Amino acid sequence: MPLKLRNSEIPLHVIRIAQNAEMQLETSWPQSTVEFSVPSEYSSRISVSKAGILKAKTLPGSAAVVARRTDLPGNETSVIPVTVILSK
């Protein structure tokens, strides 16, 4: 799993994010070699910029973000589960 907390070596296996919140995604891979995307079936819940800014929308539920390494000839890709939770 390439995702980690900023300034930490703790790997993340699942992201929980509140409605209408955003967070910067970082990987253990060189940041310039990573491309983030959201499968179309989850685009009603989240979006992610090429720079890795994950934004939750208003619809709560399960989603996923894809991190793909672009500097290798093989297909090194990770799918990270995301849960959009209700804000209080």
**Helix or strand run (H / E) with residue 79:** strand 77-85
Cα 36 to Cα 25: distance, rounded to the nearest angstrom: 9
Q: Is the pLDDT of residue 62 over 80?
A: yes
Average pLDDT over residues 2-13: 59
The model's pTM is 0.82
Report the residue count for the chain.
88
Tell me the domains of the chain and their CATH numbers: 3-85 (2.60.40.1080)
In the block, tokens 């619809």 appear at 59
- 9-57: pLDDT as tens digits: 556 678 999 999 999 998 888 888 899 999 999 999 999 998 899 999 9
